[in-house]
């Protein structure tokens, strides 16, 4: 009997990562949940196991290369890696943005994705049919005022995805970039505004049905379950009420 294919999801302790872990478990993958908050991924792994799926949790900071390398030693063969860990810090204009925020966003979104992808690429290749998903953003494709540091970091992730796809063509690994627009998740905007829930709520104010974490997870689940020869290079997904990063319909 063939072994159950394994999917690693980074940033699985909340939002899109947690929803993706649920979706991939339901698709029949053995899911390995990683994030820094061990209690949250352990609780989700237990919930999935209870529901009859295969799930384990492993506490991991994607910016800690030594820890990522240690984590990767557990895998000889890997079917799917979802690079989801990341996020935004602040919404200051370029003129006054904090360089420390820019550095941290680059470190988490770009170097974190680089660390995990480099460490797990041998196992993805060894599987004979590997899939790498990179969760960028519509911020990876165009700028918006106040987005500076996040837009720069997500553009970096986009370039990582594009370059890697060029470099590994001919190997049995595909690279899928999923670029969501506005997604209302429990923590993204609150983290961005450092716990200021009022500012966070304004992001979604008057928007009829922003995307949910489940909408994005559904997109990822669809993309990774296409036949092996089909590579969804870049999938942009926005709510109907959002036509661009700066054109959002609000009923206020
Ligand atoms: N929400 C949106 O509107 C939106 C739109 C487009 C793209 N995205 C992207 O989608 C991804 C998920 O966003 P989300 O909305 O689900 O946000 P979220 O709920 O804030 O989730 C972010 C996840 O990343 C993890 N994380 C952050 N830093 C980490 C680190 N150094 N090491 C390991 N894990 C880390 C967090 O877990 P721990 O804190 O437990 O480590 C958390 O699980 C992000 O890359 C984000 O940029 C979001």
Rounded to whole angstroms, the Cα distance separating 245 from 238 reads 9
Q: What is the pLDDT of residue 227?
A: 98
> Which atom of ligand 1 approaches the CA of 157 most closely?
45
Give residue 72's pLDDT.
98
Q: Is the dihedral of CA 117, 118, 119, 123 positive or negative?
A: positive
Residue nearest to atom 19 of ligand 1 (CA): 15
Output the pLDDT for position 62.
98
Q: Which CATH superfamily is domain 4-246 in?
A: NAD(P)-binding Rossmann-like Domain (3.40.50.720)
pTM for the model: 0.98
Residues 118-173: pLDDT tens digits? 999 999 999 999 999 999 999 999 999 999 999 999 999 999 999 999 999 999 99
- Mean pLDDT for all residues in the chain: 97
For the chain, the structural domain boundaries read 4-246
CA dist., res. 161 & res. 151, Å (int):
15
Atom of ligand 1 nearest to the CA of 16: 16
| pLDDT given at position 2 | 79
Residue-by-residue DSSP string for 83-94: E----------T
Residue 204 annotated as catalytic: no
Query: For residue 59, what is the enclosing H or E element?
Result: strand 55-59
**137 C-beta closer than 6 A to ligand 1:** yes
- Please identify every stretch of the chain with a pLDDT value under 50, giving residue numbers as ranges: none
Cα(223) to ligand 1 centroid in Å equals: 20
Give the Å distance between the CA of 193 and the centre of ligand 1.
14
């Amino acid at each position: 009997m063939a072994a159950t294919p394994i999917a690693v999801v980074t940033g699985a302790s909340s939002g899109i990562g947690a929803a993706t872990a649920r979706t991939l478990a339901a698709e029949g993958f053995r899911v390995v949940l990683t994030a820094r908050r061990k209690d949250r991924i352990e609780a989700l792994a237990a919930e999935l196991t209870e529901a009859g799926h295969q799930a384990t949790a492993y506490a991991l900071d994607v910016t800690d290369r030594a820890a990522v390398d240690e984590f990767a030693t557990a895998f000889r063969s890997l079917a799917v890696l979802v690079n989801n860990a990341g996020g935004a810090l602040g919404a200051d204009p370029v003129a006054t943005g904090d360089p420390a925020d820019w550095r941290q966003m680059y470190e988490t979104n770009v170097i974190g994705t680089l660390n995990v992808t480099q460490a797990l690429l041998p196992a993805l290749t060894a599987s004979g049919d590997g899939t790498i998903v990179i969760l960028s953003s519509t911020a990876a494709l165009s700028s918006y005022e106040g987005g500076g540091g996040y837009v720069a970091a997500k553009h970096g992730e986009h370039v990582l995805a594009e370059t890697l796809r060029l470099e590994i063509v001919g190997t049995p690994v595909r690279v899928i970039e999923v670029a969501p627009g506005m997604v209302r998740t429990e923590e993204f905007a609150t983290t961005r505004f450092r716990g200021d829930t009022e500012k966070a709520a304004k992001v979604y104010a008057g928007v009829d049905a922003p995307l949910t974490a489940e909408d994005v997870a559904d997109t990822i689940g669809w993309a990774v379950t296409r036949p092996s020869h089909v590579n969804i290079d870049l999938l942009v997904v926005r709510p109907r009420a959002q036509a661009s990063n700066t054109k959002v319909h609000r009923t206020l």
